[in-house]
Amino acid sequence: MATTRVKRAFKYRFYPTDAQAAELSRTFGCVRKVYNMALAARTEAWALCRDRVGYNATSAMLTGWKRTEELAYLNEVSSVPLQQTLRHLQGAFSNFWARRAKYPTFKSRKKSRRSAEYTTSGFRYRNGALTLAKMTEPLAVVWSRPLPEGARPSTVTVSQDSAGRWFVSVLCDDRPALAAPANAAVGIDVGITSLVTLSTGEKVTNPRHEGKDRERLARAQRDLSRKAQGDGANRAKARLKVGRAHARIADRRRDFLHKLTTRLVRENQTIVIEDLTVRNMLKNRKLARAISDSSWTEMRSMLEYKADWYGREVIAVDRWFPSSKLCSTCGTLQSRMPLNVREWTCACGTTHDRDVNAARNILAAGLAVAACGDGARPQRSTPGGQSSVKQEVVPPPRSRAAAQS
């Protein structure tokens, strides 16, 4: 089976010269300024006369702003990132009107992501050298992995994280090779002590990256809190230490999740997960920190797009499916199952590990959906022994495109 071409981003670290860093910093500031002014104009137009200002109108505004003496500095940077930020704002409003997102907010100089996006007219890529508009020298990119053979980048996004590191993300067409055929299917139950429990009985311990570096992060945050707001250089150094602590945690977590999800996708043709609402689960103050550190949403996203790349299938079962309370052997449904119960014995005599039993039930429910369609469920029986079949709707597998829409 031939694979389809997909848009794939390749992210690399680079080390700019002082002149390039200054140029990019000016570009980040101009991008933020144009975004905020366009957002203010669109908000004012709607508040005064209920007029929806679109991208074309804001693009015309940008031309007018460049001609004023006050905003003439916008001409000093490439116009491509400025146009792209207006397109991003248009996308944010489209998501808002479609009720997929909240109303767009203004970008902050200290808290917002520092980035600029260049399309094909704003950069040159030749013989492994990447040069951005308004620059004479190519970026010193560390090409840690090669781009696809014959790749022609369509967009290049330059960013700087809170730790002061510079990154470039190159988007181009790719045709990922299909993974070797695998007939195995696995159910996954996510947790806090064990990050994932597989239907095979395997448990992957949660590395708790944030917990291991919590003391380092707390010390850096205390140092930052002691610096006065007007203490520019010292406060900037303290803020950089906090950013580096956060970056260390995020990098280690992302690396672990990439290795785990890649292994699961390579070894299994079908992967069944729960459709959890992590946003609602974070309202539990006792577990919010541990749930955030587990990054279940990021792990699901990785599973979905890697499955799309390599010809695998990810099935999400309904979040209300009682996977923990259902006996995977006889189908008996327990009346209640408190969180402190990690092992339990069914009336049929089978002793279950709570997480392994849940993973097996998730797998059975997912395979039933794949075979029979929505609404199918493994047969259950009440503790009294009477069969009880309950129709529950299970959403179809989410695609990568649907997740980003």
Which member of 23, 117, 174, 274 is catalytic? 274
Buried b (16+ CB within 10 A) or exposed e, 246-259: bebbbeebeebbee
> Nearest to residue 169, comparing CAs of 141, 150, 148?
141
The amino acid occupying position 213 is D
Please indicate whether residue 308 is annotated as part of the active site. Answer: no
Give yes or no for a contact between 149 and 30, defined as CB atoms under 8 angstroms apart: no
Please indicate whether residue 231 is annotated as part of the active site. Answer: no
Q: And the tokens for 206?
A: 């949660």
3-class DSSP state of 51: coil
> Nearest to residue 280, comparing CAs of 324, 249, 317, 320?
320
Give yes or no for a contact between 282 and 288, defined as CB atoms under 8 angstroms apart: yes
Order the strands of the 155-160 sheet from edge to edge: 114-119, 155-160, 166-174, 6-14, 141-142
Q: What dihedral angle (degrees, nearest 10) is formed by the CA atoms of 30, 35, 37, 43?
A: 180
Q: Hunting for tokens 């144009």 — which residue is that?
A: 34
Which member of 117, 174, 189, 210 is catalytic? 189
Which member of 23, 117, 304, 355 is catalytic? 355
Other beta carbons within 10 angstroms of residue 311's beta carbon come to 17
Please indicate whether residue 274 is annotated as part of the active site. Answer: yes
The catalytic residues are 189, 274, 355
